């Protein structure tokens, strides 16, 4: 026998809320053009559900609306969206006016051969969606959206923003969750995450509208750099976004790390020239130049070295950009980075002309040896006054410390050269600087018996440790 009735949906989908009576309406339509059809609705969970009407007769080619009512529940369903324990059965049979009356349909259908319609139960709605997102239950969220596509479109803006915020703060799979919500239609800021807006003089900050980037921990500068949008980056920098130059995403990456990874050299140069930390480490201890080497980008490596990035900084595994270049046999990059080593050697030897030549051709002033010594450190301890002047005039950091916390002034004192000490003090070196053990330059002069240097430091207002 062919079906007598059809139901508008294969599931009873309940918009669930705690401690609230929840309803779902389905249409039961007759497939018979010539005779009425009797029906009776049964449930596996009568303690939870009511149906109105529970039974009745559908006239030929007509329909009846069934209301499925979930009584108030004080607990979240044990399984959702699909319920494993709740279901409905609609028993149907041709209705014979002469053999029964409508008020005795239940007993009549109990003894008649019937065609049955089976209905599953699914719990959906914003409450369970929010609950699933907060638990990081990707499959539950996906299945709720699959069954109820309108659940995201119908969310008020504040609730949509709240839902997205919860998704971005998940410990795991936050990016996947955010992408799922956006691609399914979650509306934020009057849009549906269509993509990244370009910055201009009037809309700087619109990058933050797209939560896909927020999920990564990116700010506007990260996004501009990631997509190599130099014009947008220029606008952001002009609008005072310098404070975000070293903003770290969830992996500890600054915008410069992204630029180095993606090979966006113009963006990288703009960031460094604007004051970005050239030697910032991400969570894995890697610097921008390390990433550039790892990706085989010689031009990026050369630019960063010319801007005095330090290729000797080790990551969490003890590997530096130098080590990676050597391991990969990247001879050109090794040569580029060794210019800094040559600068260090020239400074140690007091070869001012060689030093100037190397610096003019891309050698790094910030190259450090295994002890953390820079060219200024080694020139200061050796008493090479002319080399110290060259390096100081070129802007090398006077307060850069070696592995034990010594500044160039500490080492100049150790070398016992009054002229070098005077140059460094005159250029603004901190006479009160302390090593990791708390030793000041003045304290060193007293220990070493350099009374002439001690007097100079005292007149400049330093104090002992």
Which tens digits make up the pLDDT trace of 312-360?
A: 889 999 998 888 888 888 888 887 777 777 888 888 999 998 888 887 7
Q: Are residues 294 and 311 part of one domain?
A: yes
Q: Give whole-number Cα distances, 135 to 18, 215, 432, 447, 458, in Å.
A: 17, 16, 53, 63, 63
pLDDT tops 50 at residue 30: yes
CA dihedral of 46, 51, 53, 55, whole degrees rounded to 10: -50
Least confident of 238-252, 278-292, 368-382, 435-449: 238-252
318's tokens: 């003890």
CATH number assigned to the domain comprising residue 82: 2.60.40.10
Identify the domain boundary among 318, 353, 369.
Answer: 318
CA distance 225 to 274: 14
Percent of the chain having pLDDT more than 90? 44
Q: Are residues 262 and 176 part of one domain?
A: yes
Confidence of residue 140 (pLDDT cuts 50, 70, 90): very high
pLDDT tops 70 at residue 4: yes
Q: Are residues 306 and 199 part of one domain?
A: yes
Domain containing 287: what range? 130-318
Q: Give whole-number Cα distances, 146 to 57, 140, 212, in Å.
A: 33, 10, 21
Which tens digits make up the pLDDT trace of 66-99?
A: 999 999 999 999 999 999 999 999 999 988 766 5
- What confidence score (pLDDT) does residue 201 get? 46
Q: Are residues 66 and 36 part of one domain?
A: yes
Q: Are residues 50 and 149 part of one domain?
A: no
In a domain, 395, yes or no: no
In a domain, 251, yes or no: yes
- What confidence score (pLDDT) does residue 218 get? 83
In a domain, 53, yes or no: yes
Please give the mean pLDDT across all residues of the chain.
85
In a domain, 404, yes or no: no
Which SS3 state, helix, strand or coil, does residue 89 take? Answer: strand
- What confidence score (pLDDT) does residue 171 get? 76
- What confidence score (pLDDT) does residue 195 get? 41
Identify the domain boundary among 279, 297, 318.
Answer: 318
CATH number assigned to the domain comprising residue 157: 1.25.40.20
In a domain, 382, yes or no: no
Q: Are residues 119 and 171 part of one domain?
A: no
In a domain, 413, yes or no: no
* Closest among 120, 50, 110, 61 to 85, alpha carbons compared: 120
Q: Are residues 283 and 145 part of one domain?
A: yes
- What confidence score (pLDDT) does residue 152 get? 85
Which tens digits make up the pLDDT trace of 174-215?
A: 778 887 887 777 765 443 333 444 444 444 444 444 666 777
Q: Are residues 184 and 276 part of one domain?
A: yes
Identify the domain boundary among 76, 95, 124.
Answer: 124
Q: What is the mean pLDDT of residues 208-228?
A: 76
CA distance 35 to 73: 40
pLDDT tops 70 at residue 243: no
In a domain, 407, yes or no: no
In a domain, 142, yes or no: yes
Q: Are residues 146 and 107 part of one domain?
A: no
Q: Are residues 167 and 106 part of one domain?
A: no
Domain count, the chain: 2
Q: Are residues 250 and 112 part of one domain?
A: no
Which tens digits make up the pLDDT trace of 400-418?
A: 898 899 999 999 999 998 9
CA distance 201 to 447: 60
- What confidence score (pLDDT) does residue 385 get? 92
Q: Are residues 118 and 135 part of one domain?
A: no
């Amino acid at each position: 026998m062919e079906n007598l009735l059809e139901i508008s949906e294969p599931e009873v989908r309940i918009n669930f809320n705690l401690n609230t009576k929840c309803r779902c309406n389905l249409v039961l339509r007759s497939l018979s053009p010539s005779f009425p059809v009797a029906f009776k609705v049964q449930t596996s969970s009568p303690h939870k559900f009511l149906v109105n009407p529970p039974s009745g007769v559908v006239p030929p080619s007509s329909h009846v609306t069934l209301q499925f009512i979930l009584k108030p529940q004080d607990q979240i369903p044990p399984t959702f969206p699909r319920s494993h324990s709740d279901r409905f059965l609609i028993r149907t049979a041709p209705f014979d006016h002469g053999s029964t009356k409508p008020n005795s349909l239940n007993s009549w259908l109990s003894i008649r051969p019937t065609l049955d319609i089976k209905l599953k139960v699914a719990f959906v709605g914003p409450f369970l969606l929010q609950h699933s997102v907060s638990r990081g239950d990707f499959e539950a969220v996906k299945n709720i959206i699959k069954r109820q596509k309108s659940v995201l479109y119908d969310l008020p803006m504040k609730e949509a923003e709240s839902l997205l915020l919860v998704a971005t703060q998940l410990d795991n799979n936050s990016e996947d969750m955010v992408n799922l919500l956006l691609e399914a239609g979650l509306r934020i800021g009057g849009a549906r995450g269509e993509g990244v807006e370009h910055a201009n003089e009037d809309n700087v900050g619109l990058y933050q509208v797209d939560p896909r980037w927020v999920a990564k921990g990116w700010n506007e500068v990260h996004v501009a750099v990631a997509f190599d949008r130099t014009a947008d980056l220029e606008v952001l920098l002009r609008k005072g976004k310098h404070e975000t130059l070293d903003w770290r995403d969830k992996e500890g990456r600054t915008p410069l790390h992204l630029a180095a990874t993606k090979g966006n050299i113009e963006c990288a140069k703009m960031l460094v020239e604007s004051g970005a930390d050239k030697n910032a480490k991400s969570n894995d201890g890697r610097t921008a130049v390390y990433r550039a080497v790892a990706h085989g980008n010689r031009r990026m490596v050369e630019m960063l070295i010319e801007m005095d990035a330090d290729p000797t900084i080790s990551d969490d595994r003890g590997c530096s950009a130098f080590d990676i270049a050597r391991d990969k046999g990247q001879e050109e990059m090794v040569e580029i980075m060794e210019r800094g080593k040559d600068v260090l050697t020239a400074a140690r030897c007091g070869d001012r002309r060689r030093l100037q030549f190397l610096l003019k051709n891309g050698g790094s002033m910030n190259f450090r040896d295994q002890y953390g010594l820079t060219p200024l450190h080694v020139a200061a301890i050796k008493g090479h006054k002319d080399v110290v002047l060259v390096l100081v005039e070129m802007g090398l950091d006077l307060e850069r410390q070696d592995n034990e916390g010594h500044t160039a002034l500490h080492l100049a004192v150790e070398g016992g050269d009054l002229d070098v000490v005077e140059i460094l003090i005159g250029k603004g070196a901190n006479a009160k600087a302390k090593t990791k053990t708390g030793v000041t330059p003045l304290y060193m002069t007293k220990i070493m018996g350099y009374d002439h240097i001690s007097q100079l430091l005292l007149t400049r207002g330093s104090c002992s440790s």
